[in-house]
């Protein structure tokens, strides 16, 4: 069900402290590793959202046990992977790309499906890789069925991961459980969102898995156990950016508690991006503090490694005092929606001037007017509309409920930030 939402306009500079829920990327990687481990794990401060509850439900259907802790943690007891099972991927790339390599360890059939748009998202790369490694899979996109044989021999596979780094991460997460381990090589245009692969490698090593990532476009996971452990999930830095943007567009100040001094999250790059647009960004003992300028500066930026920030940056660009160009993000046409086309359409719908390029978009600021901002069932499109609505009267987002994919109560958090809740 879609949920129409009138984006509130700020009555002055936004000044707030906004605690942000845990990282989706870290949570879902931790859940997969916990389900494949040789003993129990606890995931502390996990994100509880549609994407992560779908991941937990999928792993549970494959044999893992989940217990809710009083503090919001998840206790995960690994179990032998088994079928038959049905996996609802929703619109979650991490579920549809991380779970098939794990399901190949099961005995029995595992059926994967998801939301209507999920059936259009690229999947042939990872399913082809699994076939090359010996898996039996019917189909090249959702819905598909994996006929589990109880394991894979492993070995080496070459893929083109230029559409998504999740293809590499999904294979690596389960590779240690294959008989001969796994070597993944990439051949093709550059892999986007490389920091996400770095996150995967780091978390595998934290779980005791031996990973060699020393060669360009190649990753080797040695066979062996995955250790059960305590996982501590950082705040989701990409989900923090709309709240930081609220300070940027209103000349206010927003603090995000718990922002890590060092991180593998691509969202950590937001600090530099906001600074380039004229904001003051300082990491203090209280968290990351962003103070907005009198006027935002346009920028020319390559977001290949941080492409999930594109909708936030595009919204800021539409409100800046000079043109902006976002490059290196052709692959986001295959995300929850074609984000390039969607951003251009919605900025122009409100009277802006945006155009598509081969690998991104150009935004030339013009006075914006109110109107409907369509989310295309995409959580980051919805939050981009909320940012613009802070300074443009009469903006409504047609599906604010889509934010539940990664932010459990975005409208409530937005209202609390503005002091209207």
Residue 86 annotated as binding site = no
Cβ-in-10-Å burial (0-12, 13-18, 19+) of 261 comes to: exposed
CA separation, residue 338 to residues 236, 302, 379 (Å): 23, 18, 13
The residue ranges of every structural domain in the chain are: 5-21+236-418, 24-221
Q: Where are the beta strands (DSSP E) in 18-95?
A: 41-44, 65-68, 74-77, 85-88
pLDDT value at residue 420: 82
Same fold, 5-21+236-418 and 24-221: yes
Residue 276 annotated as binding site = no
Residue 193 annotated as binding site = yes
pLDDT value at residue 1: 55
Strand order in the sheet with 360-364: 300-302, 324-327, 360-364, 353-357
Structure tokens at 346: 């919605």
Interatomic CA distance for residues 42 and 201, integer angstroms: 20
Residue 335 annotated as binding site = yes
Residue 405 annotated as binding site = yes
Give me the residues of the chain with pLDDT under 70, please: 1-2, 421
Query: Which residue bears the tokens 């990351």?
Result: 288
Kindly list the catalytic residues: 308
Superfamily the domain 24-221 falls into: Enolpyruvate transferase domain (3.65.10.10)
Spell out the residues 6+ positions from residue 248 whose beta carbon is closer than 8 angstroms to its own.
274, 277, 279, 290, 292, 293, 296, 316
Residue 121 annotated as binding site = yes
CATH code for the domain defined by 5-21+236-418: 3.65.10.10
């Amino acid at each position: 069900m879609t949920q129409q939402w009138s984006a509130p306009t700020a009555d002055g500079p936004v000044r707030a402290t906004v605690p942000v829920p845990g990282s989706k990327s870290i949570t879902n990687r931790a859940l997969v590793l916990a389900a494949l481990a040789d003993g129990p794990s606890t995931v502390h401060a996990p994100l509880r959202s549609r994407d992560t509850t779908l991941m937990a439900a999928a792993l549970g259907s494959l044999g893992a046990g989940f217990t809710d802790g009083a503090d919001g943690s998840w206790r995960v007891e690994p179990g032998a992977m088994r079928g038959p099972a049905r996996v609802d991927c929703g619109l979650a790339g991490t579920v549809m790309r991380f779970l098939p390599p794990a399901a190949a360890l099961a005995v029995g059939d595992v059926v994967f499906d998801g939301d209507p748009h999920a059936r259009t998202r690229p999947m042939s790369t990872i399913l082809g890789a699994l076939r090359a490694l010996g898996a039996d899979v019917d189909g090249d996109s959702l819905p598909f069925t994996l006929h589990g044989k109880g394991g894979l021999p492993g070995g080496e596979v070459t893929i083109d991961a230029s559409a998504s780094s999740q293809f590499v991460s999904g294979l690596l997460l389960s590779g240690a459980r294959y008989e001969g381990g796994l070597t993944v090589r990439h051949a093709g245009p550059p892999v986007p969102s490389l920091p996400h692969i770095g996150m995967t490698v780091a978390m595998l090593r934290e779980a005791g898995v031996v990973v060699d990532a020393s060669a360009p476009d190649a990753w080797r996971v040695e066979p062996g156990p995955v250790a059960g452990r305590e996982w501590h999930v950082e705040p989701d830095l990409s989900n923090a950016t709309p709240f930081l943007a609220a300070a940027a567009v209103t000349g206010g100040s927003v603090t995000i508690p718990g922002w890590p001094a060092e991180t593998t999250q691509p969202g950590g790059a937001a600090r530099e991006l906001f600074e380039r647009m004229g904001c003051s960004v300082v990491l203090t003992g209280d968290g990351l503090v962003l103070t907005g300028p009198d006027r935002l500066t346009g920028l020319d930026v390559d977001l290949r490694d941080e492409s999930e920030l594109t909708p936030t940056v595009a919204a800021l660009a539409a409100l800046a005092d000079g043109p902006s160009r976002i490059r290196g993000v052709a692959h986001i046409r295959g995300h929850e929606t074609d984000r390039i086309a969607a951003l251009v359409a919605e900025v122009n719908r409100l009277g802006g001037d945006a155009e598509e390029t081969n690998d991104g978009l150009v935004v030339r600021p013009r006075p914006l007017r109110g109107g409907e901002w369509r989310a295309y069932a995409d959580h980051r499109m919805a939050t981009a509309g909320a940012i613009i609505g802070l300074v443009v009267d009469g903006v409504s987002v047609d599906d604010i409920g889509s934010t539940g994919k990664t932010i459990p109560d975005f409208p409530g958090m937005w209202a609390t930030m503005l002091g209207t809740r």
